[in-house]
Structure 1
Amino acid sequence: MRTTLELGQEIGYGKLSIEAVAARAGASKHTIYRRWPSKGALLLDSLLSLHETDLEFPDTGDLRADLRAQVYAAVDLLGQPPFGHLFQALVGEAQYDPQVAASLNERFIAPYTDKTVARLKTAQDQGQLSPDFDLDLGMTLLSGPLYFQFLITQEPLTRERIDRLHHALFTGLAPDPRVRRDP
């Protein structure tokens, strides 16, 4: 798996092959294929094995600070070198390989979503969120803009962008009544 990441960083996902990984790792391609049916499955395991605990949620009692810290960790992992471009490629591969899509969802997306919704529920129970706030929608609002930027526009994910997104989410889209606007 380490060889997969090293080679992926060097030549990119498009040129990555099981054969190239086997040659560099000193293993037979049949050995690799017995465990991983595709290069997408191999890359998924490689990325997740190195970063299984990096996206844990803090719970300091301050929802905004906890969400910010958690999303910063996600941005540092997913949107930055050395692995950002490999995560992008993996999500792209999931669009064509149902096994990679299912595994990515089961092992990364769903656990992350569950942790986010659980943290929002705790905040809701503590009165930090409206009691009728739709927690699943909250997850969508928190993650959707990041995935859009990460996958569609491919603009860099930055902590400043996270701060702006969180401010918009928590403040809402309505103008601040304290700020006077001249007509």
Structure 2
Amino acid sequence: MVLLLCLFFFTTRTLELNTISLGQSIKDGQTLVSASGSYELGLFSPENFKSWYVGIWYKKVSTGTVVWVANREASISDASGVLSINDKGILSIMNGTKGTVWSSNTSRNSAEDSIAQLLDSGNFVVNDPNDSDSENFLWQSFNYPCDTFLLGMKIGINFVTGFDRHISSWKSMEDPAPGLYSMRIDPRGLPQLVVKKGPNITSR
């Protein structure tokens, strides 16, 4: 597990909901909270860093410790960001000028009433509200881990698409962009779990 403990600036007004649907959004000062109250999702800004992100953090334990960031490579310059879901089940984050800074994707046909839901596992998913089968999620944050490996996540390489699912450190204590260190599967020979610094394996 690669984990950074940081202080962040949060100004939240919890919606007491764990889902958003078409026509709803999350703005600065609003959050989603998982049913058990373990995880919270909303806008945050690392201390002394003038950038804003949509992320998930622990709510009960290690309050403020971020475990996932949506737009880690595309920050927002102020607190104007808005997270919403469209009629195709696509999540997007827009800045104050309505420009899209991040969006999800899906390879499946979405239901007209798709919702985005923060689960008790810390997984943020897009699904049909009438189908809770995890195999049928249209999109899920667990497929795009950041620096924290949560129970239920998987890492590895999809040999069909070439997508390398791995976790990576933050660039710095204040910048959640991917850093030098990563933990991933090395598929050469017998697949092994390795830790890398840049392109170099440091442990296996």
TM-score, normalization by structure 1: 0.27
Which structure has the greater CA radius of gyration? 1
Higher normalized contact order (CA 8 Å, seq sep 6+, divided by chain length): 1
Give the helix-richer structure, 1 or 2: 1
Give the strand-richer structure, 1 or 2: 2
TM-score, normalization by structure 2: 0.25
